[in-house]
Structure 1
Amino acid sequence: MKFWLRTFGDLRLLDEQGHATAFPEKGLVIIACLIAADRASVPRVPVAELLWGKSTPSTSFTNLRSLILRIKNRQFELDRHFLSFSESRIELNPSLLSCDVSAFGVAGPEEPFEKLALLVERFHEGLFLEGISLRSIVFSDWLAQQRERQTIALERAVDIARPLAAKPGEIALVKEAALLVSLAHPQDEVARRVLIEAHDAQSEVNHFRSVFERRSRLLSSWAAAAKRPVKGAVVSTKADSPTLEVPATEAAVHPMARVPRLSLLPPSNHGTDPAAAGIVTALLEDITIGFCVLNSIQVMAPYSAVQISRQTADKVAAFEHHDVSYVLDTRLSGVDSDRSLFCQLIYMASDEIVWAERFSIDGRDLARNNRDISRRLALSVASEIERHRITRAHFEQNPAAYHRYLIGRQYFSRLTLPNLRRARREMKAALHESPNFAPALSSIARTYSEEWFLTARGDVELLKSAETFALQAIAARDDMADGYRELGVAKLQQGALDESVEALELAEALSPHYADVIADHADTLAHCSQLEAACQKIEQAIELNPLSPDAYLWTAAGANYGLGRFAEALAYIDRIAAWLTGFRLRAGRCWATPRRRVLSSAELAKLTLTLIWINGF
């Protein structure tokens, strides 16, 4: 029996009985380096540079001599001389121990699926030398190269085994390995192709691919068609002036941020229910694959996420160690057909809940619901992370501007002329602090379009101001939905229906689960007489935002009325919070239709009062 050196995950030396054996850590690193490089010996000089760096050679050689002494003493105690030392070299005796990293070398198994299974097992155990942190740039560079080489070896093994996979177990192994490659190399096209091919039979990733291909196509066509120049000036200090122009050199430059890393935590309360465990496992796998296809978020490998979720110690420290930016925490509740999945997206740096939603898991149609939930979850989380990342970037760059922006947003809760003007004043104050703050630009556009509504729709200059600020928001950040949304609303109010549809279509493509954008898109479709599509859109918005604003219900009522669905229109009107406004719509539209319905005495009384109110105005 040989000793066993474990290098993936925790670095450990195990004896013949599998028990952990004490040994100098840097000595184990030397052994791992020799085995990973398929070398029997190495000069002392590069070993000293690897462990302690090149900056102070004399100190490195002194430290190496001390380490060699400790290694010799420990090997004497074990009566196992894994390493031997001469004046200039360090040699390995490979007959005394085996190592898990050998699977990646020439001595690994030759049978394709046996090799692939072994490599997958290594990746599941953790990263190569994961817990080792040496103050040496040489070691850091070498370790990165080794991990890259191991990922390439896994990719090659996938490429060899993929055309040979015929049995269900072989196909599942190839898919699992491709997922690991994609997690390590988000841009790897081979792994992406394998994932897409593996899941095409169930159409699980077609939705992701089509959504984001459409998003890229729309952005490209918009950039090619619009080409609207942005002038270079400053914010006007006049209270009602719409003039704000972003310097082109600043607006065109978007800071390149690293791709955020996400960890999907399985529910901690599903272990006693095997059915729930199966649901969660399948769901998290689908979501992970969806993120890999999206290629916009780096996802922690499911195995590592599960291990962290089981830790009783400080999970926050574990996430920080693995550079996790966001955590998707999940919980199951209910039983059978009443089962639901609660998800919340947490930004780890500030322990902030960015987004939360509850999904119904209907046991009567589990396969379809799981697929739909995985799609909605992946797209929702991707959109929310992107929106939160953009807003955080503005906050981190200029907290004062972000603070003024938040103050201004509070005034949108009750739309009155004084509140709109207060909001506009705060947004312009934010822009004085940060001229490229796209959320503030789009919010100013909203204040002008809402003011146009509240002032009897008589001042076309308000709409032109809304359009100006919307275009500047797009120039400042062309991958945010809000600018396109405000442009679409302004174009609708000006009667440019085709341009409105184009802008709102792009806004929805950028944020597929942004309920307000979808509702505005539905309103525009209704004005374009695309009533069936409008009904579908507004129902989607109401589903995403169940406690819907009256504007959603108004759009739904109008679209259903146009289709002759008077009962549905009246049902939406009855849900409008401002009931006098709702009954005004009822009186003006539904009461005069050929399909008059019999009203109850209470409805008739309300309707009579409403008609009196209308006549009074």
Structure 2
Amino acid sequence: MFVDDKTFRITDPSRIDVCRFLEFDALAGENSLRQLMETYRGDLLQGIEVPTNDDPFAVSRSYLRERYFGFAHSALKELTRYGRADVALIHSLERHVLGIDSSREETYKSLIAAYGALGRADDSRRVFALLTDVLRLDGTSGPRPDTRALLTRATTRSIDLGPVPSDRGTLAAPHRPRVALLAPNWVSPSREENLQRAFVEDAANELARHRSLVTLASHSSFQANSDGGVLDANSALRADYAVSTFVRPGQRGNELTVRLVQSSSGAIIWAGDYPLSPELIVSSNRALVGRVASELSSAIERHSLASPDRTSDPSAYFSFLKGQDTLKTCDLRSVRRARRCYAQAISQDGRFADAYSGASSSLYMEWVLLGGNDPALLAEARDLAEQAIVSDPSNSAGYWRRAMVALYQHDFDECHESFMLARERHPNSADILLDYADALGFVGDPDEAWGTFEQAIDLNPTPPDQYWWVGASVAFSQADYRKAIELCGRLRNEEPALRVLAASHGQLGNRWEANGYAHRLQEIYPGETAESMTRLQPHRSPVDRQRFIDGLRIAGIK
């Protein structure tokens, strides 16, 4: 600093904590928030004695204190904007703000809202209880009605899943089909019976390598009595499937006939024949064992996925179909009606993975329709996607929905990983490929996004409007504005693509067309700016989002 008889000037403001505090940006992220907590440790000149009746710093002290709480409120809102945040950091800020002043009801409201945005209802209730205790000690009757209403919103879920574990590892283990390989039978006695029996035991051991199944030990399953694979008693084994084997003479030696039987119905799900000569067992036994186990596993997985409803409850399936039909219309009323149908399906069958997936989809669609202003919707959508995965990990739907929620939450690594898992389980789904192309357009390689979009169109060559809308968005990410405009021209209703059309014409310098689309946008969204119109787009790179903003501004949207 510099001092003379008339001047006091700070030459390096970064060394003064008050100066650093005044430059704090509440929207700058987690590190900035940590710096705020390190910098603001109490009131201005706290601990220095001043006259109580003439405190020259009273106004400044009050200003800085209110500025701190304003920063904390803004930081909490920004951190939880997408329904995800570092919970430990939120807990640290809670301790910090309540340590500065534990009597401000507005602070508790900010914390209740933040925890609610993350789907942490128990934390919201805990903070409300703290507030209630503080007010009781102060002689106040209790929290204000608006605070009680906020608590209700923060702790009310669209679909009650019960307590949601914070650690995915604590989620309930999904049901995996239990498979019992039965002792082999022979059409006629053979000297190789022991060798053939050992072969079937080896096949059972090999089948046990498949994680999607539970293979019962041969020692127990070989003792079970059955009639052609239909178990006489199943209470001990609790097998979902039984595998019966018998050896019969063939044209080139003995053959092993394998039949896969569903225990509940006695229906033969699959059957196969394999050569079983002693020479073959000795020379290529590992390859043959692996083939038998692999084909059995594939047959079981195909059968477990064959039912289109994934539920044995007809009422649950009917409710699910009603939800699917209602969700085809993407307005707020229809989205909420669809979610009520999915919730009913879940109440009828609590392990119905596709119903959880549909409910998740309805929640993040509502988030978009409401302008991205309710992060609790995204948090709940993610919880439902997780429940879909728990209910049926072989189903692509849960991973697909988790990928979409992660995209909107800007959790780009999770988005990519979940899409990969969804595609592994359903590689030829045009809809999954379309959403993956959309995500790649925002966070990945635009050319790869276009290639993925073309795969989706190849599988669905006469698609609904949504496909052309996504394709136009991907073309914009490639900076191919003419192609974006051409794809928008295939829409039956171009209203959802007005932003893309205005920005594309703006980037091409087609001012007359761009202004026309901009005028229509401003009629639908009065007062919206170019920046606010692109806020929901989950671009990884700010540069990509800026191209969209620039196009809208050229079109005439400020």
Under a length normalisation based on structure 2, what TM-score does the superposition of the two structures give? 0.43
Comparing both structures, which one devotes a greater share of its residues to helix? 1
Give the TM-score, by structure 1 length. Answer: 0.39
